[in-house]
Amino acid sequence: MDGERTLYAALEAVYGLWHTPPRPGTTPSRAAELLAGAVTRDAWLPDDKNYVGITKEHSDGSYEQNKIFSISWTNGLSAAVPCLQAAHRLGDETIRAAALACIDNIVQNSLDPRCGLPNETWDAENGWSCRGWWFDGMYTGGHSGYLVGQTLYYILKAYRLEAARGIDHPDWLAFVQGVVPRLAAARNGDGEYPFTLSEQTGAGLEYDSLGSAWCLAAEAALMQLTGDTADLPAMERSEAHYYDAFIRRAECYGGPPDTSKAVDSEGVLAYIRVARLLHELTGKAVYLDHLRDALCYEYSFKFCYNVPVQVPPLSRLGWSSCGGSITSVANPHIHPMSCTVADEMFYYLRRRPDAYIESRLKDTVGWSLQTFNTFDREYDYGRAGWMSERFCHCEGLLVQTYPDGSLASTWFALMPWACGSVLEGVCGTWWNYKGNTA
For the stretch 68-126, pLDDT in tens is 899 999 999 999 999 999 999 999 999 999 999 999 999 999 999 999 999 999 998 89
User: What does the alpha-carbon distance between residue 276 and residue 136 come to, in Å, rounded to a whole number?
Assistant: 34
User: What does the alpha-carbon distance between residue 298 and residue 259 come to, in Å, rounded to a whole number?
Assistant: 17
What backbone torsions phi and psi does residue 327 show, to the nearest 5 degrees? -75, -45
CA-to-CA separations, 191 to 149, 184, 185, 236, 267, in angstroms, rounded: 15, 9, 10, 9, 17
User: What does the alpha-carbon distance between residue 344 and residue 361 come to, in Å, rounded to a whole number?
Assistant: 10
Are 254 and 212 spatial neighbours (Cβ–Cβ below 8 Å)?
yes
Are 42 and 383 spatial neighbours (Cβ–Cβ below 8 Å)?
yes
User: What does the alpha-carbon distance between residue 16 and residue 103 come to, in Å, rounded to a whole number?
Assistant: 43
Name the band, by pLDDT with cuts 50, 70 and 90, for residue 438: very low
Element at 386 (helix H, strand E):
none
**pLDDT for position 435:** 46
Distance of CA 237 to the CA centre of its chain: 25
Q: Which of 270, 275, 305 is nearest to 288 (CA)?
A: 275
Name the band, by pLDDT with cuts 50, 70 and 90, for residue 436: very low
For the stretch 27-79, pLDDT in tens is 999 999 999 999 999 999 999 999 999 999 887 778 899 988 999 999 999 99
**pLDDT for position 437:** 46
Q: What is the mean pLDDT of residues 193-198?
A: 98
What backbone torsions phi and psi does residue 3 show, to the nearest 5 degrees? 60, -145
User: What does the alpha-carbon distance between residue 168 and residue 165 come to, in Å, rounded to a whole number?
Assistant: 9
User: What does the alpha-carbon distance between residue 113 and residue 318 come to, in Å, rounded to a whole number?
Assistant: 52
Are 95 and 83 spatial neighbours (Cβ–Cβ below 8 Å)?
yes
Q: Which amino acid is at 130?
A: C
**pLDDT for position 1:** 54
Are 68 and 133 spatial neighbours (Cβ–Cβ below 8 Å)?
yes
User: In this structure, what DSSP letter does residue 329 have?
Assistant: S
Q: Which amino acid is at 36?
A: A
Query: Within 13 Å and on the Cβ side, how many CA atoms surround 183?
Result: 36
- DSSP for 262-311? -BBSSHHHHHHHHHHHHHHHH--HHHHHHHHHHHHHHHTTB-SS-----S
